Structure 1
Amino acid sequence: MDLTLLQAETEEDIASLADMASRIWFEYFVSIISKEQIEYMVEKFQSVAAIQDQTKRQGYEYYFMNVHGANIGYLGIKEEDGRLFLSKFYILKEHRGKGYASQAMKLLTELCKKRSLGSIWLTVNRHNHSTIAVYEKKGFKTVRTQVADIGNGFVMDDYVMEKKIAE
């Protein structure tokens, strides 16, 4: 396995992660949501201040997906109610389609087993068809839909998907 997970812990790590998040979000989500909503969401959820708050006060953990010393993406997770919430899972454009998402999912599954967590769940935009297809291929099933008001006149229109973890 080429991919390792490196926890983002220092201020420099968090700044680097926030920069990567902004790059990925503006490159990827412009076909799904407006530029204004991306700007709002990056500031609200993926800025340095937001990530620091999530890791210090809300129980989130952030990891770089690292391949041979290079950070190629990141993920954010949170344990809750015996399950793992996969809050963020993003890979830089030039590294997509190389099997890294599958490797990261294997590492997350191992983490769940080690922590005795029964499933991984996530939310995904209902119009993000390619990502939904990837999650389905990885064993996730849609369990419900949800529309969440995130402020400033914006909503997240998502599927909630879950994958059971075998003992």
Structure 2
Amino acid sequence: MTFTITRIDTAERHRVTALAERIWPECFAGIIDAERIPHMVAEIYAPDTLRADIEQRGHVYWLAQVDGEDAGYVSGFIEGDRLWLKKLYTLDSVRGRGLGKALMQTVRDHFSGAKTLSLYVYSLNAPAIAFYQSRGFTIEAKVPVQMGPYRFEDYIMNLDLTKSDRA
């Protein structure tokens, strides 16, 4: 598998939305009710939301291509000495081949100097939690989340970057 990772700007944010529309039903099958997924994607990946992420909130987005086709994305931003991994998703067809790790490393390399890498993950998403734990992340807290009419709980997970050299 050959992949490339490229930073994108607001003009290419539609590619992230298109990928989210494909990835979320795969990623959250059996975890989130299927009828809720399109509404959540529409809210999280709305063009104005992604534009504000990039232009106002300091988020940086990257797209991964596998064999020339969009296959994953990641975003991150810095807050003090904490680097937030905001979004990390890949298509099912490329999972388990190192792309998620490479995307995570891309964020770390771009925002060097942070002491902690943090993220939110849905508390019922066992595969994602296991992936992050395999990379050295630990659970800091369980927090309530309200997204439109939906209530759920996320974990905040952290990786101490002063002690870890792996993404």
Instruction: Flag whether TM exceeds 0.5 (same fold).
Output: yes
Cα offset for 1:24?
A: 0.5
Pairing 1:106-117 to 2, within 5 Å after superposition = 106-113=105-112, 116-117=113-114
The partner residue of 1:150 within 119, 143, 147 is: 147
**Aligned AA (1:122):** L
Cα offset for 1:40?
A: 2.1
Cα offset for 1:19?
A: 0.6
CA 1:3–1:166: 2 relative to 1, 3 Å: farther
Is the 8 Å Cα contact of residues 55 and 61 (structure 1) preserved in structure 2?
yes
**Normalised TM-score (structure 2):** 0.87
Is 1:163 the counterpart of 2:162 in the alignment? no
> Where has structure 1 moved over 6 Å in runs of 4 or more?
none
CA 1:61–1:15: 2 relative to 1, 3 Å: same
Cα offset for 1:3?
A: 4.4
CA distance in 1, matches of 2:77, 2:152: 19
The partner residue of 1:124 within 92, 96, 121 is: 121
Unaligned 5+ segments in structure 1 are none
**Aligned AA (1:134):** F
CA distance in 2, matches of 1:10, 1:56: 8
- Secondary structure of 1:127 counterpart: coil
Cα offset for 1:94?
A: 0.8
Pairing 1:31-110 to 2, within 5 Å after superposition = 31-110=30-109
Is the 8 Å Cα contact of residues 83 and 111 (structure 2) preserved in structure 1?
yes
Unaligned 5+ segments in structure 2 are none
Bigger mean CA offset, 83-92 vs 96-105: 96-105
CA distance in 1, matches of 2:67, 2:44: 28
Is the 8 Å Cα contact of residues 78 and 111 (structure 2) preserved in structure 1?
no
Cα offset for 1:32?
A: 0.9
Is the 8 Å Cα contact of residues 109 and 165 (structure 1) preserved in structure 2?
no
Question: 2:135 matched to which residue of 1?
Answer: 138
Is the 8 Å Cα contact of residues 85 and 122 (structure 1) preserved in structure 2?
yes
Aligned pairs, number: 163
